[in-house]
Structure 1
């Protein structure tokens, strides 16, 4: 059986983490999985009770003493997966937006030959009209221009990386769980595929991305893909 690891970065997610973990466990109990599914929380220096709640559930956790941000936290999870010889990692949000029932479809796409699988909100469904979705379209366009590949939901944070991608990820600099890394992996020849998923609102807490931060994020990603990425080795 393939060994699949959910890496769940968490920062101050005390309002959501228990519901997220229980949804994963309920999925495992209700489905006859054809793969081994484990999950790991990376507590990224939370100042609330996130770590204590994870310990109370007996879940594997990397407990970081300081906040490194999503890039550092996810890298820790990828290194854990490589050391423990997992066949694939799925980036999974701690806030309840990602639904475990889509994991099987992502694994199926990986088993059919994809190195990277994106849980896409818009693979078979139309994007809504909003300023945030305009940013999604711009990032998608930047990826299309630089790689020739259409990614309909480049900002989705639900992504699977196979073992080849994991080893490439941890052995190269400036890697992050962001759209510019997906673009870079496509340029390096990694087969990327999208599968349709549905995402929910957060269980609790507040998103980091307010209006201002969303604009800054969109601008940074587009500049990175169009201008900086051609100089990456």
Structure 2
């Protein structure tokens, strides 16, 4: 791993607050979009630091991220979003951040919503940027929609509040959860979203959401095949079942 955890980022705080904020961007072969993502974050949020976790990329993602002004750490091979985020949370813990926010590397998450995520942390330890809460035109269909609806229904009951987008990767957490996720964060598919929510709620932390609008990817195209949609449905059920039965 390059750029060890001793690397020192800028030390700035939320305006009007002493809280220090780290944006964590997990990235795998996102050299085509990462410069724009980092630049937009810096332009919109000059009070935050940006950490790009290069998840074993082969296209020079880390170098592009550094050139754009981010701190970049590189995993020796691809672990998936969960593995990349665990490293990001360890960095946040070791560098004494109060708030950590996950932003995807493909440009779909609008950093303009970050202040709202931070504000919502006044009443919760984990805040989700929800795509299906009345803002924007993002839609899913078929098995993927069924899976998301099932997950949201079960986890809303567990949270005692309405959660409409439990698989969203656009989320913010406080220092307590930074410390938890630095030591425990699932690397399995959907574990980084569904299983983390189950454990967070079972430990007694409050989870809430704010509505966000999702944008188109800056590069690449998402897969829409029926086979992958059915696979997603099966994995979602399995992930939720395992998360609920694990102690």
Tell me which interval the TM-score lies in, with the shorter structure as reference length.
0.7 to 0.9
Match for residue 161 of structure 1 among 154, 170, 173: 173
Query: Where does residue 217 of structure 2 map in the other structure?
Result: 202
Structure 1: tracts of 5 or more residues without a match: 30-35
Give yes or no for the alignment of 1:87 onto 2:98: yes
Query: Where does residue 219 of structure 1 map in the other structure?
Result: 234
Structure 2: tracts of 5 or more residues without a match: 1-17
Give yes or no for the alignment of 1:27 onto 2:44: yes
Query: Where does residue 232 of structure 1 map in the other structure?
Result: 246
Deviation at residue 103 of structure 1 after TM alignment:
0.2
Q: TM-score, normalised by structure 1?
A: 0.87
Give yes or no for the alignment of 1:55 onto 2:74: no
Give yes or no for the alignment of 1:184 onto 2:194: no
Q: Is the 8 A contact 1:7 1:41 kept in 2?
A: yes
Give yes or no for the alignment of 1:151 onto 2:163: yes
Query: Where does residue 170 of structure 1 map in the other structure?
Result: 182
Query: Where does residue 105 of structure 1 map in the other structure?
Result: 116
Deviation at residue 209 of structure 1 after TM alignment:
6.8
Q: Is the 8 A contact 1:8 1:39 kept in 2?
A: yes
Q: Is the 8 A contact 1:7 1:74 kept in 2?
A: yes
Change (3 A) 1:212 1:4: farther
Deviates most, 112-121 or 212-221: 212-221
RMSD of aligned Cα (Å): 2.2
Q: TM-score, normalised by structure 2?
A: 0.83
Q: Aligned partners of 1:86, 1:208: CA distance in 2, in Å?
A: 35
Query: Where does residue 13 of structure 2 map in the other structure?
Result: none
Change (3 A) 1:52 1:129: closer
2:210 is paired with a residue of what secondary structure?
Answer: strand
1:152 is paired with a residue of what secondary structure?
Answer: coil
Match for residue 78 of structure 1 among 89, 96, 111: 89
Deviation at residue 211 of structure 1 after TM alignment:
4.0
1:62 is paired with a residue of what secondary structure?
Answer: strand
Change (3 A) 1:11 1:190: same
Give yes or no for the alignment of 1:2 onto 2:19: yes
